[in-house]
Amino acid sequence: MFLINFYRMDQLQAKQRIDILTSELENYNNSYYNKSISLITDFEFDVLLLELQGLEKQYPQYAHIDSPTQRVGGDIQKDFTTVKHKYRMLSLGNTYSKEDLQDFDSRVRKEIDTSIEYVCELKYDGLAIGVRYQNGIMTQAVTRGDGSQGDDVTANVKTIRSIPLKLKEGDYPADFEIRGEIIMTLNGFAEFNKKRKKIGKQEFANPRNAASGSIKMLDSKEVAKRPLDAYLYYVVGDDLNLSNHYQSLEKAAEWGFKVSDTSRKVNSVEEIFEYINYWDKARNDLDFEIDGIVIKVNNFVQQKQLGFTAKSPRWAISYKFKAEQVVAELLSIDYQVGRTGAVTPVANLSPIQLAGTTVKRASLHNADIIKSLDLHFGDFVKVEKGGEIIPKIIGVELSKRKTNSKEVNFITHCPECNSELVREEGEAAFYCPNVYQCPPQIKGNIEHFVGRKMTDINMGEATVAALFDKKFVRNVADLYDLKGSDLIKLEGFKHKSVTNLLESIESSKSTPFERLLFALGIRFVGETVAKKLAQHFENIDMIKSATSMELLMVDDIGERIAESLIEYFANPINLEIIKRLQDRGLQFEIQKNSESFPDLLQGQSFVVSGKFTVSRDEIKQIISNFGGKVISAISSKTDYVLAGDKMGPAKLKKAEKLEINIISEDDFYKLINI
């Protein structure tokens, strides 16, 4: 205590230090995010940021409104507040051809008798956002929602470095809103997905989903780690004091917003088309995705004259690019067997360039699609890239079909275990029925069982495969018989990783019943259904013995699910697995006493380090009461490091290096609202 007081700054010193740190960090940020130059290392940056955070907490009166500490996120929210838009957030009418655009131009010219100037812009493929500034300070950011009202995601938007918290000196209106698109760059997306894959999390299908999934997270600290960016394209307000859209974009750039320099003023449909044709090709060189071009009447008086329809402005329209198609040769077909036994055909193609990437594989979805395409080996197929990462085959160039080429017939037997495939009525997919012996189904089932939302055992795809290959596991119950002497034989496993894994398996024994039920991987029993079943029946024996009628009485349970449950519990292999899990101590009934705690920490892992106002065991108990998990070692999978007094410096450094949220005991209580 004496030492702390001795070093305590006086108020003036604190203010000066806060000012210096704020401006230095802002300078580093600016150089990094706008000029791609790192002036200091990440670690040095974090040390300065931590110092600033500490000072701001102690002297909140001196914290700058645009402090760089806001960029790292703050408290976790329970839910987003719904906010009514001051100006409705409309969408745009779509066009797909030159004729459609000519019609738009004619409609505009019919209404306006003075000369028309249009602004052509890129149509960013992301998530629309409206950000309000009052006296130059960001005060609120809201998603589009249903156009009339959206979610208040201010805390998350504040973490996006390219959206200013405070505007540069200038003639901005006292109160206005700027709209734009939150995106993830292609590079950022690739890196981000790579990281997710490495830690066993599901990858996002495309940058748009990744951007919108990120902005809708309740933990802004997590949002801060996502590579989000934004382009702004529309200034809205009552007293803008501006005469046209192009000028508003120039002004927005002056005030500090990221505005693309690709917008162009044009005067005719021909020029619009030149712009479209240019970007239809050049879009492949951009580091973000666009799905078309937006054309806006430039003059604000003319815009006002044209007005709005119920859904969109009459002064703007979008032109959507046709999905790019290329032709490739069909070399062969792979059949992939998933966790549920569903067999998915994937085509191997001669390598082709499509939308800026080399494509060698395309999805064929199911047997019906192969049939309707009348596919033959060696065919030249038309491939298109839709919204998803894997392109799809949409047709065959029959003129190029080789004579005597062999028709593609869907396989009749499982490529993994040779069982005869079955197809249930009304289902598009063929299934391998050999649930208990077919390798990808066994591995898939175990991967599902150990998943984060299930038993949360710290084990990735590679470890499951290794355990299977070494014949250590054949079903989920085998996980609980694993021994250290077995695990040490796995490649890359050392004493510490073995201990961590065994510890993780041990702590999975306290998985709440509803999650365990979900973990079993019963067909059609997802997270919500499992919860409903657990709440209704309270233990596994009641579910086991429930009749179809009794099952159908439960909310959300239809015939398909009831049938699947009856079938599952009629199988002695499943009953044996459940029995073994029960014998090993897993919970197959609702824990009445833990019911009173909300699941606020579900799926979150904590490393607890240092001294607290209560004992470490108490802290650990609280974490587990609220659905969280305590682990001993920091890894990239750790969500929080709960740092008490005298936390070890090595742990602190590791947590910072892995960008893990470090929270104090106070922050922790806030997290769980106590």
Nearer to ligand IVH, 71 or 123 (CB): 123
What is the token pair recorded at 426? 């009304």
Are residues 655 and 637 in contact, defined by beta-carbon separation less than 8 angstroms?
no
Alpha carbon separation from 29 to 25, 75, 184, 657, 662 (Å, rounded): 6, 22, 18, 18, 21
Interface pick for ligand IVH out of 123, 258, 448, 532 (rule CB under 6 A)? 123
Interface pick for ligand IVH out of 189, 233, 255, 449 (rule CB under 6 A)? 233
141-160 residues near ligand IVH, rule: CB under 6 A? 144
**Which of the stretches 100-108, 119-127, 337-345, 407-415 binds ligand IVH when contact is defined by CB under 6 A?**
119-127
Interface pick for ligand IVH out of 316, 330, 442, 671 (rule CB under 6 A)? 316
**Tokens 């109160």 sit on residue:** 175
Nearer to ligand IVH, 91 or 548 (CB): 91
Nearer to ligand IVH, 173 or 313 (CB): 313
Interface pick for ligand IVH out of 28, 118, 124, 133 (rule CB under 6 A)? 124
Provide the 10 A C-beta neighbour count for residue 169: 9
String marking each residue 260-299 x if it binds ligand IVH according to CB under 6 A: ----------------------------------x-----
Are residues 298 and 119 in contact, defined by beta-carbon separation less than 8 angstroms?
yes
Handedness of CA 45, 49, 50, 51 (dihedral sign): positive
Nearer to ligand IVH, 252 or 630 (CB): 252
Contact flag: residue 118 with ligand IVH (CB under 6 A): no
The residue at minimum Cβ distance from ligand IVH is 128
Alpha carbon separation from 651 to 268, 379, 642 (Å, rounded): 63, 58, 11
Nearer to ligand IVH, 144 or 161 (CB): 144
DSSP symbols for 110-176 = HH--S---EEEEEEE-SEEEEEEEETTEEEEEEE-TTSSEEEB-HHHHTT-TTS-SBPPSS---SEE
- Can you tell me whether residue 360 is helix, strand or coil? strand
**Which of the stretches 88-96, 278-286, 512-520, 655-663 binds ligand IVH when contact is defined by CB under 6 A?**
88-96
Contact flag: residue 63 with ligand IVH (CB under 6 A): no
Contact flag: residue 121 with ligand IVH (CB under 6 A): yes
Q: Which residues contact 138 (CB under 8 A, 6 or more apart)?
A: 131, 132, 154, 157, 158, 163, 164, 165, 166
Rounded to a whole number of angstroms, the minimum distance from the CB of residue 291 to ligand IVH is: 8
Provide the 10 A C-beta neighbour count for residue 370: 19
Distance CA 344, CA 321 (A): 29
**Tokens 């990094």 sit on residue:** 32
Distance CA 579, CA 562 (A): 21
Interface pick for ligand IVH out of 40, 90, 327, 369 (rule CB under 6 A)? 90
Q: Where are the beta strands (DSSP E) in 458-536?
A: none
Are residues 314 and 111 in contact, defined by beta-carbon separation less than 8 angstroms?
yes
Contact flag: residue 234 with ligand IVH (CB under 6 A): yes
Nearer to ligand IVH, 120 or 223 (CB): 120
Nearer to ligand IVH, 85 or 144 (CB): 144
Rounded to a whole number of angstroms, the minimum distance from the CB of residue 92 to ligand IVH is: 4
Nearer to ligand IVH, 215 or 581 (CB): 215
Nearer to ligand IVH, 95 or 604 (CB): 95
Contact flag: residue 181 with ligand IVH (CB under 6 A): yes
Rounded to a whole number of angstroms, the minimum distance from the CB of residue 57 to ligand IVH is: 37
φ, ψ for residue 588, nearest 5 deg: -105, 30
Contact flag: residue 92 with ligand IVH (CB under 6 A): yes
DSSP symbols for 65-127 = TT-GGGGG--SBPSSPPEEE-SS-----EEE-SHHHHHHHHHHHHHH--S---EEEEEEE-SE
Rounded to a whole number of angstroms, the minimum distance from the CB of residue 182 to ligand IVH is: 9
Rounded to a whole number of angstroms, the minimum distance from the CB of residue 172 to ligand IVH is: 20
Number of residues lying near ligand IVH (CB under 6 A): 15
Rounded to a whole number of angstroms, the minimum distance from the CB of residue 307 to ligand IVH is: 11
Nearer to ligand IVH, 91 or 539 (CB): 91
Q: Which residues contact 619 (CB under 8 A, 6 or more apart)?
A: 608, 612, 642, 665, 668
Contact flag: residue 229 with ligand IVH (CB under 6 A): no
**Which of the stretches 116-124, 373-381, 577-585, 630-638 binds ligand IVH when contact is defined by CB under 6 A?**
116-124
**Residue among 123, 296, 531, 629 flagged as catalytic:** 123
Nearest CA to 461 out of 477, 476, 472, 445 is that of 445
**Which of the stretches 312-320, 355-363, 450-458, 538-546 binds ligand IVH when contact is defined by CB under 6 A?**
312-320
Interface pick for ligand IVH out of 313, 440, 521, 627 (rule CB under 6 A)? 313
Rounded to a whole number of angstroms, the minimum distance from the CB of residue 234 to ligand IVH is: 5
Rounded to a whole number of angstroms, the minimum distance from the CB of residue 453 to ligand IVH is: 31
Q: Which residues contact 46 (CB under 8 A, 6 or more apart)?
A: 656
Which DSSP symbol is given to 489?
T
Rounded to a whole number of angstroms, the minimum distance from the CB of residue 313 to ligand IVH is: 5
Task: Name the amino acid, one letter, at 422.
Answer: V
**Which of the stretches 54-62, 310-318, 362-370, 543-551 binds ligand IVH when contact is defined by CB under 6 A?**
310-318
**Which of the stretches 86-94, 337-345, 386-394, 433-441 binds ligand IVH when contact is defined by CB under 6 A?**
86-94
What is the token pair recorded at 391? 């392109």
**Among this protein's residues, is 123 annotated catalytic?**
yes
**Which of the stretches 123-131, 436-444, 510-518, 544-552 binds ligand IVH when contact is defined by CB under 6 A?**
123-131
String marking each residue 381-420 x if it binds ligand IVH according to CB under 6 A: ----------------------------------------
Contact flag: residue 205 with ligand IVH (CB under 6 A): no
Contact flag: residue 306 with ligand IVH (CB under 6 A): no
The β-bridge relationship of strands 290-297 and 264-266 is unpaired
Distance CA 643, CA 53 (A): 15
Nearest CA to 134 out of 177, 163, 164, 169 is that of 177
Distance CA 478, CA 596 (A): 32
Nearest CA to 120 out of 296, 302, 301, 317 is that of 296
Number of helices (H), then strands (E), belonging to the chain: the values are 25, 21
Nearer to ligand IVH, 260 or 419 (CB): 260
**Which of the stretches 75-83, 87-95, 156-164, 495-503 binds ligand IVH when contact is defined by CB under 6 A?**
87-95
Nearest CA to 258 out of 78, 30, 65 is that of 30
Provide the 10 A C-beta neighbour count for residue 491: 8
Contact flag: residue 318 with ligand IVH (CB under 6 A): yes
Contact flag: residue 130 with ligand IVH (CB under 6 A): no
Interface pick for ligand IVH out of 38, 81, 91, 135 (rule CB under 6 A)? 91
Which positions lie near ligand IVH, rule CB under 6 A? 90-92, 121, 123-124, 128, 144, 181, 233-234, 294, 313, 316, 318
**Catalytic positions:** 123
